[in-house]
């Protein structure tokens, strides 16, 4: 699971939110040092580009690991202006891994963007995240490459084995301001700086 989520070339294969994730040159060789990256999300008539910083920690108690990131874009057409998030990997006695995530972001375009975020965007981002994580789960458990499940497969209701966002155990709060998705974020997230 760690390799599939922490290797940029593999991450962008399963995560619908990104078309490309590429590390920037001259990264530190230390395993637990921050890494800068650039990302792209290709849309039909536009490509959103941005940058970020991530930090993966492999030294948690009882084998737990965490990964934290911050990102931003100056693209005025991006629905997300900036954001932050974390992943927590908790090993289970049966050899499986419980994968927990939390994220938050600042929507684009001031008040209009905030209104669209409350009405629909936050739910779309949640769905994209959950669907992508189920596609990752299928890859990790069965070896079926994520490309076998393009976005159109979400509508293939007759295929029970397809990725489904509904397999995730949590959903966004009805009012985003009433829920702090970052309440359990690792301390390392606070130390990540992004220009």
Judged by DSSP in three states, 90 sits in strand
- Convert the pLDDT of each residue in 123-143 to its tens digit: 999 999 999 999 999 999 999
For residue 195, tell me if it sits in a domain. no
3-state secondary structure of 61: helix
Which among 32, 34, 12, 15 is positioned nearest to 24, based on CA atoms?
Answer: 34
Angstrom distance (rounded) from CA 50 to CA 81: 9
* In a domain? residue 14: yes
pLDDT digits (tens, 9 = 90+) for 139-163: 999 999 999 999 999 999 999 999 9
* Mean pLDDT, the chain, integer: 88
Q: What is the pTM of this model?
A: 0.86
Q: Confirm whether 88 is domain-assigned.
A: yes
What's the CATH code of the domain at 138?
A: 3.30.530
Secondary structure (3-state) at 116 = helix
Give the rounded distance of the alpha carbon of 140 from its chain centre. 16
Task: List the one residue out of 27, 45, 95, 38 whose CA is nearest residue 69.
Answer: 38
Domain range for residue 60?
A: 2-190
Specify whether the CB–CB gap between 113 and 120 falls below 8 A: no
Give how many domains the chain has, as a whole number. Answer: 1
Q: DSSP character for 155?
A: G
**Coil, strand, or helix at residue 12?**
helix
| R_g of the chain, CA atoms, integer Å | 17
């Amino acid at each position: 699971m760690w390799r599939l989520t922490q290797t940029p070339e593999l991450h962008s294969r399963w995560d619908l939110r990104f078309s490309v994730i590429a590390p920037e040159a001259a990264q530190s060789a230390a395993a637990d040092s921050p890494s800068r990256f650039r990302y792209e999300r290709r849309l039909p008539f536009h490509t959103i580009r941005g940058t970020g910083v991530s930090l993966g920690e492999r030294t948690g108690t009882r084998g737990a690991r965490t990964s934290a990131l911050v990102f931003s874009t100056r693209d005025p057409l991006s629905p997300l202006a900036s954001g932050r998030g974390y992943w927590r990997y908790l090993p289970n006695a049966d050899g499986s891994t419980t994968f927990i995530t939390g994220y938050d972001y600042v929507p684009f375009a001031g008040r209009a963007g905030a209104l669209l975020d409350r009405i629909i965007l936050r739910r779309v981002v949640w769905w994209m995240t959950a669907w992508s994580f189920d596609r990752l789960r299928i890859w990790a458990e069965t070896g079926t490459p994520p490309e076998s499940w393009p976005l159109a497969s979400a509508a293939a209701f007759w295929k029970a084995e397809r990725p489904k966002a509904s397999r995730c155990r949590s959903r966004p709060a009805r009012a985003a301001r009433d829920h702090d998705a970052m309440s359990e974020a690792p301390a390392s997230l606070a130390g990540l700086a992004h220009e």
